[in-house]
Amino acid sequence: MADNTNTTSTSSTLSVVLIGCGRVAEKHLKAISKLKGLELKAVVDVNPDSAKRLLGSVKGFANVKTFTDYKAAIDEIKPSIVSVTVPSGLHFQIAKYAMEHGANLLLEKPMTMSVSEAREIFELSQKTGLKIAMGHIYRYLPIVGLVRQDIAEGKYGKVTHGTIYVRWGHGEDYYSSAAWRGTWKSDGGALMNQTIHAIDLLVWLMGSEPEEASAMIAQRIRNIEAEDLGMAVLRLENGALAQIEGTTATIPSKHTAEFSVFCENGQLSMGLDSGKPHLNIFTVKPNGKLKKLNGYYIRKQFKEGGMFSYKCALNPHLGIYNDLYESIKTGKNPIADAYSGFSSVDTLLGIYKSAKEGKPVALPLTDDFNSVDMTGFFK
């Protein structure tokens, strides 16, 4: 895969250009600063002050070059990796340009705002061999990968169903901090922005693709164009059901998120409550008694990933960059790969389409659907 990439750095380091110097970009810079194999060559923002502010916020990047035009930065630096951290409605054009110029991507979620664009980016990665690691942070949390493997190997028996809730309250200050937030064109609502990576995680853990979505969305409190509350049920190809709740209409100072998977012989729940993680993994012993497996997984994760895997709990972007680096060097697929980007956008837009039409829709969507097709849904 390395042959496919532009290499402006030494053979072992990969050059990075980050485009979009806002809220999430700082997490990217902190991750890059901790990984020896990456060299940040430039950052880009239409607002030069944002670029300067970002570089000043993380140690060691004071002399990194800044640009206001992403094409100029990609053309001049020819980076191995382009990190796309602009508003979601701009992901497609920048991702496409970067790949057409030989760059691998760390692409923030959602991959794009339409099914056809997501398919195009996925197919471009297939055609070129360039890697895309999606900003699906939950796949990079400790333990989830181990649990997924055990579910896939049938250690817990048949998967019956799964649930997630993402109650990620955001007040008017958040929505008024940038004009793109909460709009159908550039962001979508609580499901598209705050819940898509949790949906991706749940489906990934349950080990099957969605084949049908039924959903309702609502505007309860926030003064935005899109939804601040959404609920959906997915039917997966293996027959299991997944229940989804995503909202920003809850109290902003109390962020909670949890996912649970239920199987014939076991069940697990993991989540965060105001920053505090919780974990409950059980199996049923042959004598019918419950056995808690938290300690087993915590030790196993340490044995396999050391402290690094636990550091990823504090900044999952560390895990994503490390994974992308390994993928480029070895040719393996990233954990949150290009397909996960396409599939989660397809599922999310299926959820929106179901809410719009008031009936279940089959997945994957056969016709294109774009977040802007929801314009006017809330009159």
Q: Of these, 28, 41, 109, 353, which contacts ligand NAD (CB under 6 A)?
A: 109
Residue 85 interacts with ligand NAD (CB under 6 A): yes or no:
yes
Give the Cα separation of 309 and 139 in Å (integer).
Answer: 12
Closest distance between ligand NAD and the C-beta of residue 143, in Å?
18
Query: By C-beta, is 275 or 358 nearer to ligand NAD?
Result: 275
Give the Cα separation of 55 and 50 in Å (integer).
Answer: 9
Residue 135 interacts with ligand NAD (CB under 6 A): yes or no:
yes
Judged by CB under 6 A, the chain residues 200 through 259 that form the site for ligand NAD are none
Residue 112 interacts with ligand NAD (CB under 6 A): yes or no:
no
| Cis peptide preceding 142, ω within 30 of 0 | no
Which range, of 84-92, 118-126, 199-207, 285-293, touches ligand NAD by CB under 6 A?
A: 84-92
Query: Taking Cα atoms as reference points, which of 360, 368, 374 lies closest to residue 114?
Result: 368
Give the Cα separation of 112 and 341 in Å (integer).
Answer: 8
Query: By C-beta, is 22 or 360 nearer to ligand NAD?
Result: 22
Closest distance between ligand NAD and the C-beta of residue 89, in Å?
8
Query: Taking Cα atoms as reference points, which of 280, 333, 279 lies closest to residue 310?
Result: 279
Residue 46 makes CB contacts below 8 A (sequence gap 6+) with 68
DSSP 3-state of 225: coil
Give the Cα separation of 177 and 186 in Å (integer).
Answer: 14
Q: Of these, 35, 46, 124, 241, which contacts ligand NAD (CB under 6 A)?
A: 46
Q: Of these, 32, 42, 108, 283, which contacts ligand NAD (CB under 6 A)?
A: 108
Helices 91-100 & 70-77 angle (0-180, nearest 10): 20
Residue 47 interacts with ligand NAD (CB under 6 A): yes or no:
yes
Residue 80 interacts with ligand NAD (CB under 6 A): yes or no:
no
Query: By C-beta, is 53 or 155 nearer to ligand NAD?
Result: 53
Q: Of these, 90, 113, 144, 166, which contacts ligand NAD (CB under 6 A)?
A: 90
Distances (CA, A) of 327 to 94, 100, 104, 331: 21, 19, 10, 5
Residues of the shown chain interacting with ligand NAD in the complex, contacts defined by CB under 6 A: 19-25, 44-47, 50, 70, 85-88, 90, 108-109, 135, 137, 178, 193
